[in-house]
């Protein structure tokens, strides 16, 4: 696997260009997930936010409470620069250790689930998402 610096640079190159396909990708995501039609006061948690381009897009839609999690400190720092929310530097399989219960209306897992390598990590992650979600909240997964 490439190192974090290389991954960060690749993400910067891919998403910072603002090209048509990138914009279309985010637009389809917000439409198909239903996120685009939710109230702007919706609290959103992006698990595995990387350098924060999805957080930036969510904020551009008018959402005022968009937070992220990434295990890489350099990626989390880049994400913090793209959102006014909090970016946690932590393991997505340990959400209950640092996120209070019933905190978010929406939890997003975008391009992150493939990093969970054991059945135990899967259980902890999905249990943690459930822990973070408010009753009636929405879980959105995207490859």
Q: Please state whether 102 falls in left (phi above 0), alpha (psi between -120 and 50) or beta.
A: left
Residue 22 tokens read as 């990138």
Intervals of the chain under pLDDT 70: 1-21
List b or e across 108-137, with b for residues whose CB sees 16 or more CB atoms inside 10 angstroms: bbbbbbeebeeeebeebbbebbebbbeeeb
Q: What is the DSSP letter of 32?
A: H
Task: Please tell me the total count of domains within the chain.
Answer: 1
Phi, psi of 133 (to 5 degrees): -75, 140
pLDDT tens digits for 66-106?
999 999 999 899 999 999 999 999 999 999 999 999 999 99
Model pLDDT, residue 10: 61
- Structural domain harbouring 69: 4-142
> What is the CATH classification number for the domain harbouring 57?
3.40.50.150
């Amino acid at each position: 696997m490439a190192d974090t610096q290389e991954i960060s640079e690749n993400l910067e190159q891919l998403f910072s260009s603002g090209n048509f396909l990138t914009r279309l990708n985010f637009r389809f995501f917000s439409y198909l997930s239903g996120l685009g039609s939710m109230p702007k006061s919706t609290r959103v948690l992006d698990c595995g936010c990387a350098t924060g381009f999805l957080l930036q897009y969510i904020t551009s839609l008018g959402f005022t409470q968009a937070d992220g999690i990434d295990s890489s400190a350099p990626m989390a720092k880049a994400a913090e620069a793209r959102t006014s929310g909090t970016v946690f530097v932590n393991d997505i399989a340990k959400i209950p250790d640092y996120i209070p219960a019933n905190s978010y209306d929406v939890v997003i897992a975008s391009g992150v689930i493939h990093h969970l390598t054991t059945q135990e990590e899967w259980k902890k992650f999905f249990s943690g998402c459930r822990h973070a979600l408010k009753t009636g909240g929405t879980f959105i997964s995207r490859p």
